[in-house]
Amino acid sequence: MRRMSLRHALIGLLRERPASGYDLMQVFDKSLHQVWPATKSQVYAELAKLDEAGLITVTAEGPRGRREYAPTEAGLAELRHWMLETTPDETQRSETLLRVFLLGALDRAQAKDFMLAIRERTLADLARLDALTESIDWDWRADDDLLRYGAIVMEWGRRMMEMTRDWSEWAATRIPD
């Protein structure tokens, strides 16, 4: 049990409101996908472990075997400890950047096209983000923490894309013909 971010993500999400594994998967697929992807297998397994460890507990049962969980006091303490007293693992992996690093395997024209293709993809990502931003009802529960901090994370994503767009343009000009 080294870092176990998923564990803390689940407690943190349940802190906002009790939820089932199914509910949590919606959040992972819709909001958290770009930040911390997770699969059903992982979520259901981790919920079972968390329950057994006494960090969350079943608060309601519904149709189709639905089980809603909420964090226990121990769980909340563990979450705060993780957030305040441990340093995040900042390991970054970027397959795109790895390819840029290895661009010497292509000829110059291909390398330049590669950078311009990154630009095109980033432009498309930005357009998708714009559409997503418009589709969100920002007024709904303006006091909602997930919405407040989610917006801050989204802004990071937007700035990241804008940066990548500018960088890829610049990089293309740096590759001589």
Q: DSSP label at 19?
A: B
Which residues ranging from 96 to 135 are in contact with DNA (CB under 7 A)?
Answer: none
Upper half-sphere CA count for residue 89 (Cβ side, 13 Å):
9
90 touches which of DNA, its own copies, none (CB within 5 to 8 A by kind)? its own copies
Number of residues that bind DNA (CB under 7 A): 29
Question: Minimum Å distance from CB 80 to DNA?
Answer: 19
Contact flags string 43-82 toward DNA, x per CB under 7 A? -xx-xx-------------xxxxxx---------------
For 62, phi then psi, to 5°, come to -130, -165
98 touches which of its own copies, DNA, none (CB within 5 to 8 A by kind)? its own copies
Question: Minimum Å distance from CB 166 to DNA?
Answer: 28
For residue 69, give Cα distances in angstroms to 42, 49, 141. 16, 12, 22
56 touches which of its own copies, DNA, none (CB within 5 to 8 A by kind)? none
Nearer to DNA, 6 or 103 (CB): 6
> Both tokens of residue 141?
């529960």
96 touches which of DNA, its own copies, none (CB within 5 to 8 A by kind)? its own copies
31, 16 Cβ separation under 8 angstroms: no
Question: Minimum Å distance from CB 21 to its own copies?
Answer: 18
115, 92 Cβ separation under 8 angstroms: no
Question: Minimum Å distance from CB 41 to DNA?
Answer: 3
10, 16 Cβ separation under 8 angstroms: no
Quickly tell me which residue has 């923490």 as its tokens. Answer: 145
For residue 176, give Cα distances in angstroms to 99, 111, 114, 130. 18, 10, 14, 34
Contact footprint for DNA (CB under 7 A): 1-6, 20-23, 25, 37-42, 44-45, 47-48, 62-67, 91, 93
